[in-house]
Amino acid sequence: MTRASVDPIRRTALRALFLVLLSRNRRVTMSVVTAIAVLMALELARKGFNVASLSAWPLGGAMMLPLAPAVGLVREKADGSLRFLAFLPISGEEHALARALVSITMAAPAAVLLGFAFPLMVAGISLRLSIAVGVGGWATLAATSLLMTAIQLRAPIGRGAVAAIYWIGGFLVLVRLVEAVRDEPAVLAVGRFLATPAGLGVASLTAGLILAAMVGFAVRVIAIEGPRYQGEIAAA
């Protein structure tokens, strides 16, 4: 079989892997959307219409979506589908690419909402900075999602499931903490500093280095572990 005939097969397998992984997050997405709609309705009935208050729930829910690929990996291990995916005729780097594309897709809703919500949190923010915050949030959430997926891939199934519960619980606590302190003078001062060219430059450089390290580590782990996964015994 020639290389020209092999490449279309690999591209088809890569596309199929991406679509399968993305479709497995559909149920999680619908559950989050339903839960957020209910919470927003309760908030509306309790406090009336308040843009800042109501926007916190969709943003918080959307920021949970990038956790779905890592949590879904626990199910892939449990039902044996991860072992099947390891036999697809694609390389380890292509396994990592498919996982990265899923993480990027699942982070997109939060990035859009973050770009809209940031001006509500910090007054006087320009449209350009709001877009930059949205793009930066997208990159951060996608990289975090991919990193957690890599960690779940390497972790024994029992420990990985427990870690996922801790991650979700910790994330919910973090969202509530941010909501509680967003009007504090120190937080507003940080927001104003980040709105300056110097603040944005420092934040961008620091975040870029951290994200590059996270993505590099995650891609390496997935590229090595993905194609050779053969199942495991659940850890106690």
Q: Which domain holds residue 73?
A: 3-225
Residue at 231 is within a domain: no
Q: At 206, list the tokens.
A: 């620091």
What digits encode the pLDDT tens for the residues 145-154?
Answer: 899 889 888 8
Judged by phi (left if over 0) then psi (alpha if -120 to 50, else beta), residue 232 lies in beta
3-state DSSP call for residue 142? helix
pTM: 0.73
Residue at 235 is within a domain: no
Measuring CA to CA, how many Å separate 22 from each of 28, 33, 66, 227? 11, 16, 11, 19
Residue at 180 is within a domain: yes
Residue at 232 is within a domain: no
Q: At 176, list the tokens.
A: 């509530």
CA distance 31 to 25: 10
Residue at 234 is within a domain: no
What digits encode the pLDDT tens for the residues 175-184?
Answer: 677 666 666 6
Altogether, the residues listed in the chain come to a count of 236
Residue at 230 is within a domain: no
Place of tokens 């659940």: 234
Number of domains in the chain: 1
**Mean pLDDT, the chain, integer:** 77
